[in-house]
Amino acid sequence: MNETTISMHELREKQPRFRGMEAGHRACLGCGQALAARLVTEAAGPDIMIANATGCLEVFTTPWPESTWRVPWMHSVFENAGAIASGMESAMKVQGKSTKVLAFAGDGGTFDIGFQALSGMLEREHNVLYVCYDNEAYMNTGIQRSSSTPHAAKTTTSPPGRERMGKRHLKKDILSIIASHHIPYAATTSIAYPADLRHKVRQAITIEGPTFLHIHAPCPLGWGHEGALSIEVARLAVQTGFFPIIELERGQLVGVMPIRQVRPVTDYLKTQARFRHLFRDDPKAKEELEHLQALADHNIEVYGLRADHPDPMDSEGADTVKRGGLRWA
């Protein structure tokens, strides 16, 4: 009988970096972060190491003594994923190794608590891909609002009432802040468009220097929708202009995901219980809906997201290449 031999390199290539069904993790059904992490690690390849800030992703993948990860992985505290990743990258550089360092964090560990360490990492130009898994609140600790939570959304710390319709403040424009560091590459993407997500990971991995990827990842528990609807909800965020898909190089806009048919923002909001209060018969609620539509319209205008003509090569529901390797929404 002929025996087939396999090299260690080939074995590593076949080994999943983020185990799903066969070993399991403890994410909620339909968790956007779990899908995003799997897509990122699959696209990045086996020669990576990860610094993971405290948050949902860290908690549901590493219940002691189990681990979902099959690459070198280190748990950082909430506020220092950027600093830990910087140290890991420096250690690899001293040893002359080419292993790419990735930093993973949620919106709380990126927009808020961990921003100082992230800014330092970018300013020092460490060769690290920083990935923010944005589910728009502190889901791990009870669905509290973060600076990434959209305006008028309901959380446990921004409940709607007589005085206000949910969170009063706007979602922080994190990509513009990142762009001001003039790093080689920064982009937004969504779990609803896996081809676009993989493309951007592979592009960022090849770049020498700091890169940043902002992934929109719905949370069924915190947003109030069925787990089976996560992809649909994420797609509506893009198709309404509520979450623009763009690419930046050295702070300059170089690519967008054009929208074939712009949907009203209410199509997106109606899918989620966190916006349910906006559909009451209340003048304040109507005012907030108009405000959110204006925000989406502003994104479409500023980034030029409206597609003038559908791509004739596109088929319904398929991803097609636009300029910069981006896809149609």
Residues whose CB falls within 8 Å of the CB of residue 76, separated by 6 or more in sequence, listed in order: 51, 52, 53, 54, 83, 84, 85
What gap in Å lies between CA 324 and CA 166, rounded to an integer? 37
Q: Is 15 exposed, middle or buried (0-12, 13-18, 19+ CB in 10 A)?
A: exposed
**CB 222, CB 137: distance < 8 Å:** yes
Nearest to 34 by CA among 64, 56, 63, 62: 56
Helix axes 230-239, 32-44, angle to 10 degrees: 80
Q: Which residue has the tokens 């909001």?
A: 269
* pTM, two decimal places: 0.89
Per-residue pLDDT of the chain (329 residues; tens, 9 = 90+): 455 666 756 655 555 555 543 456 889 999 999 999 999 999 999 999 999 999 999 999 998 888 899 899 999 999 999 999 999 999 999 999 999 999 999 999 999 999 999 999 999 999 999 999 999 999 999 999 999 999 999 999 999 998 889 999 999 999 999 999 999 999 999 999 999 999 999 999 999 999 999 999 999 999 999 999 999 999 999 999 999 999 999 999 999 999 999 999 999 999 999 999 999 999 999 999 999 999 999 999 999 999 874 443 344 433 433 444 456 78
* Domain residue spans of the chain: 15-325
**In this structure, what are the phi and psi dihedrals at residue 60, rounded to the nearest 5 degrees?**
-80, -10
CATH fold of 15-325, please? Rossmann fold (3.40.50)
